[in-house]
Amino acid sequence: MKKVGFFRSIQLKFIIIYILLLLVAIQVIGSFFTTELENNLVTTFEDSIASRVELLSYNLEQAFNRERDEENPDQPSLKEEVQSIVSEVDTQDISSLQVVDNQSRVMATNDYNSRDEINKKTTRGIIQRTLTTNSTEHSNNVRDNDRFYVLAHPIVDEKNRDIVLGVIYLEASLEPVYDQLMSINEIFFQGSILAITVSAFIGILVARTITKPIIEMRRQAQKMARGDFTQKVNVYGWDEIGHLAETFNDLNNQLKHSYATIEEERRKLSSVLSNMSDGVIATDSSGAITLMNEPAGRLIGHNPDDVMGSFLLDILHLEDKMVDITELHNSGSMIIDFGENEEDFIIRSNFSTVLDEEGEITGFITVISDVTEQEKVEAERREFVSNVSHELRTPLTTMRSYVEALNDGAWEDKEIAPKFLGVVHNETERMIRMVNDLLQLSKMDAKEYPLHKERVEFVSYYHQIIDRFEMQTPKGIHLQRELPNGSYYVWMDKDKMTQVLDNIITNAIKYSPEGGTIKLKTEYKRHQLLISIQDEGMGIAYDKLEKIFERFYRADKARTRKLGGTGLGLAIAKELVEAHHGQIWATSKEGKGTTVYFTLPLMNQKRRGA
C-alpha cells in the first residue's frame, strides 16, 4: 500500500483547517475591533474638541454681549478681547482657530501665520451655513494626505438666541488619533501572530492526538490486508475515535476468526481437489478457466497453470458442438472422446452452474472423470447380451422349425422323425452346454467358484490327458508329445485344469485339417511351466488374436457353429488359468496354424517336500 506523505495527510489538513478557522476568527474580530476602536477614538476626540469649543463659546458670548464704553480708553475693544480669549485657548490638537463675526469677517485667530486674514471676509461654506442656520456643523476632511476635523459653532445673543453674533471655526488634526489607532493595530497584529503561533502548536498537538489512532488503525489495516491479525489498536480515550478503535479491534477479532475459518475451508477444499480422482474445472460467467486441479490437468493433458484464462469449450474440444458457454446450463452431463491414434480415451463431463443471490450465473463447475473402462465394460455387456441372444436364438429357431415340422405330421415318417429328433436333441445339448458355461463364468466373476487345489505332478498328469484324447481322436490327426523327463509339481485343481486342457485341445482338434499334427509341449521356465498346444489349422489374423479369449468371440463363426462350439471355451480357460496365478496367450499365422500358451507356477522346494 502506498505510504501517505505529510503534505497529503489528514494531520496537515486538521492543522490547516484549525489555523484557517483561527485566521477567520481573528480577521472578523480585528475588523470589528478596529472599526469600533476607530469610531470610539474619533468620537472621544470630537467630544474633547466639543467641550473646549463650548467653553470658548461661553467666553466669547460674554464678550460679544458685554456693553462697552467707547469713551473709556482702558476698556479693550471687542476684537482685542476676542483675540485675548482665543490666545488663551488650549490649542492642543487644534491646528487652526478663528472667530468670525456675523459679517463673515475674521476677528481673531490663534495661528500667527494667519494674522493677515484678520478683518478679511471668509468664504468658507461651513461658516456661511452656520451663520445662516444657527447650528453647529462639523466634518472630517483630507488635505495633502492629512486627515483633519472641521467644526463651525455659532456665537448667539444671550437675550435672543436666534441671533447669530459670530462663528467659531476650528480645524483639528486627526493624525494623532489614527497614529494611536495604528499603534493599537500593530499591537493587535503582533498579538494575533503570537496567538496563531501558539494555536498552530496547540493545533499540531490536537491534530496528532486525533490522527495518531487513525494512523495506527491504517497501519493495522495494512497488516490485516497481509493476513496479520496479531496486533491491536491502542484505545486512548472513550470519545468517538476511542469507540472507533474499540470497534476496529472487534472487527480485527471477527476477521481473524473468519480468516481462520476460510483458510481452514480453503485447505480442506485444496486437499479434496488435490486428492480426488475426478478432475474439477471452475470458470467465470464468460467461460474463462479460473481453477483446475491436478487430476483434471492429467485427464485433459494440460498443465493447470498454463490454461488459466483459457476458454473451457476450447480445452474440452467442444467448440464445434457449442457456440455459447451458457449452453452448458442445460447440458448436464456429456461424454467426450479424447482418444488419439486409435486409443480409446473417453471422459464424462458433468456441468453445473454457480448462481448469485439474484439467480444470475456467475460461473460454471465442470467435473470430469475417465470412463474409458466403464464404457468398454458397458460395450462388452451390450455385446455379451447381443451374443447370448444370438447364440440362443439360432438353436431355438432350429428346434422350433423341426418341432413344427414334427407337429405337422413328420413324426409319422419313420425315416425323417428320428433325424428331426436327433437335431432337436443336439441343439438342446448345445444350449445346455452354453448355459452351463455361462453359469460357470458367472460364478467365476462373482468369486463363487472355489478351487480345490492339490499337489500334482504335472508331466504324468498331462500324459493321462493326452492318452484320453488319443483314444477318441479322429483318424488322420496325430498328437505329438514333447514333454520333459523328470517330476514337476504344481499346486492346482485337477478338474479345473482338465477343463482348461480339454477346451484348448478340443479347439486344436476341431480346427486341424485331416492328416494334421497337434504338438503338445511342456517346458521348464524358472519357477513355472510353459504349456503349449500347436495345431496346423487355418490360423487367426493378427488384429483378431487377442480377442479369441473374449466371450462368444469366434474366428470362424460358421465353422464353429457347425462344430457345435459355444464361443466360451477359451474365455473359461483364461479365467481358470488366471485363477491358478498363470497367464494365457496365443500366437498364430494365417494358413499355418495357431499355438496357445499358458503358464503354471511350480511349487517351491519346501512345499514340494511337504
User: Where residue 156 sits, what CATH number does that domain have?
Assistant: 3.30.450.20
Mean pLDDT of 188-200: 84
Residue 609 has pLDDT above 60, yes or no: no
Domain shared by 145 and 284, yes or no? no
- DSSP alpha helices (H): ranges in 226-311? 240-275, 294-300
DSSP state at residue 473: P
Strands 137-143 and 146-156: antiparallel
* Cα dihedral sign, 467-469-472-477: negative
* pLDDT reported for residue 143: 77
> How would residue 455 be classed by pLDDT, with cut points 50, 70 and 90?
very high
Which of 316, 339, 370 is where one domain is finished?
Answer: 370
Residue 52 has pLDDT above 50, yes or no: yes
Does residue 105 belong to any structural domain of this protein? yes
How far, in Å, CA of 303 to CA of 318, rounded? Answer: 19
DSSP state at residue 516: -
Residue 390 has pLDDT above 80, yes or no: no
Domain shared by 345 and 266, yes or no? no
Domain shared by 325 and 431, yes or no? no
What's the predicted TM-score (pTM) here?
0.42
Give the mean pLDDT of the chain.
80
Supply angle C-alpha 278, 282, 285, rounded to 5. Answer: 150
Strand partners, 490: 456, 602
Mean pLDDT of 476-491: 90
Give Cα 204 to chain centroid, integer Å: 41
Question: Based on C-alpha coordinates, what's the Rg of the chain?
Answer: 66
Does residue 381 belong to any structural domain of this protein? yes
> How would residue 56 be classed by pLDDT, with cut points 50, 70 and 90?
confident
* pLDDT reported for residue 562: 47
Domain shared by 589 and 496, yes or no? yes
- pLDDT single digits (tens) 158-188: 778 788 888 888 888 888 888 888 888 888 8
Could you write out the DSSP letters of every residue in 351-387?
A: EEEEE-TTS-EEEEEEEEEE-HHHHHHHHHHHHHHHH
* pLDDT reported for residue 594: 92
Q: Which percentage of the chain shows pLDDT scores above 90?
A: 10
Does residue 291 belong to any structural domain of this protein? yes
Among 87-96, 192-201, 264-273, 577-586, which is the least confidently predicted range? 87-96
Residue 411 has pLDDT above 80, yes or no: no
Q: In which domain, by residue range, is 483 found?
A: 454-608
Domain shared by 140 and 175, yes or no? yes
Which of 335, 370, 405 is where one domain is finished?
Answer: 370
Mean pLDDT of 488-514: 89
Domain shared by 264 and 293, yes or no? no
Residue 552 has pLDDT above 90, yes or no: no
Contact by Cβ (8 Å): 530, 596? no
DSSP state at residue 4: P
Residue 391 has pLDDT above 50, yes or no: yes
**Residue that has been written with the C-alpha cell 476468526 in this structure:** 257
Domain shared by 592 and 578, yes or no? yes
Strand partners, 529: 524, 600
How far CA 362 is from CA of 287, 350, 443, in Å, comes to 10, 17, 52
* pLDDT reported for residue 309: 84
Does residue 1 belong to any structural domain of this protein? no
How far, in Å, CA of 80 to CA of 58, rounded? Answer: 17
How far, in Å, CA of 392 to CA of 552, rounded? Answer: 12
How far, in Å, CA of 477 to CA of 214, rounded? Answer: 106
Which of 275, 296, 325 is where one domain is finished?
Answer: 275
How far, in Å, CA of 290 to CA of 284, rounded? Answer: 7
Contact by Cβ (8 Å): 65, 104? no
Domain shared by 284 and 351, yes or no? yes
374-378, 440-444, 599-603 — which one is most confidently predicted on average?
599-603
Task: Quickly count helices (H) and strands (E) in the chain.
Answer: 15, 17
CATH number for 552: 3.30.565.10
How far, in Å, CA of 4 to CA of 181, rounded? Answer: 47
> How would residue 441 be classed by pLDDT, with cut points 50, 70 and 90?
low
- pLDDT single digits (tens) 127-143: 888 888 888 888 888 87
Residue 263: count other Cβ atoms within 10 Å of its Cβ: 11
Residue 118 in 3-state DSSP? Answer: coil
Does residue 91 belong to any structural domain of this protein? yes
How far, in Å, CA of 603 to CA of 609, rounded? Answer: 10
Domain shared by 293 and 409, yes or no? no
Contact by Cβ (8 Å): 101, 118? no
Does residue 261 belong to any structural domain of this protein? yes
Mean pLDDT of 190-199: 84
* Cα dihedral sign, 457-459-463-465: positive
Domain shared by 441 and 330, yes or no? no
CATH number for 388: 1.10.287.130
All cell numbers assigned to 527: 519357477
Domain shared by 109 and 168, yes or no? yes
Does residue 220 belong to any structural domain of this protein? no
- DSSP alpha helices (H): ranges in 446-485? 458-472
> How would residue 606 be classed by pLDDT, with cut points 50, 70 and 90?
very low
Show Cβ contacts of residue 381 under 8 Å, excluding neighbours closer than 6 positions: none
Does residue 228 belong to any structural domain of this protein? no
Domain shared by 402 and 501, yes or no? no
**Residue that has been written with the C-alpha cell 447364440 in this structure:** 391
Q: What is the 3-state secondary structure (H, E, C) of 540-570?
A: CCHHHHHHHHCCCCCCCHHHHHHCCCCCCHH
All cell numbers assigned to 34: 478596529
Domains: count for the chain: 5
Phi, psi of 527 (to 5 degrees): 70, 5
Tell me, what amino acid is at 85? I
